[in-house]
Amino acid sequence: MVINIIKIKKEVKKFRRAINKCDKSKMPIVFKYFPHGSCEDTTLILGEYLNQKKLGNYKCISGETEYGLTHAWLEIEDYVIDITSDQFINRPEVFISKNTRWYRKFIHKKEVYKIINYDKKTRRQLFMVLNYIKKIIRKF
């Protein structure tokens, strides 16, 4: 499958903008200090959103540095897509690139399950957040 990186970038930026506009009191506690501490949930939801848009089959990757720092992002083909990298110093709000140098510090990496593989309560909560974000996107 050939990916349309221009369309992906457009949708990813809309998604991040929508999260920034969300009323955090209507979202699970993990989003209270977004983007801090919400990278895995955000990444899972973004991956599902892009899959629903038929923009590719994404992998959610979770990694840990040798010092115990953890982070999660999406990968598709040679691209990294990260909308929570700004929780780290000197990182952009939205990162979409084939340049994966910064991500190499996460030496213990694993693919995280897609939303559908989680328990019913977690799935319901993540889909609730996704639907709330999509509602905001429709207003753009």
Question: What is the pTM (predicted TM-score) of this model?
Answer: 0.93
Question: Given this model, what pLDDT does residue 112 score?
Answer: 86
Question: Given this model, what pLDDT does residue 117 score?
Answer: 79
The tally of domains found in the chain comes to 1
Domain extent, residue 122, equals: 5-138
For residues 125 and 100, what is the distance between their CA atoms, to the nearest angstrom? Answer: 31
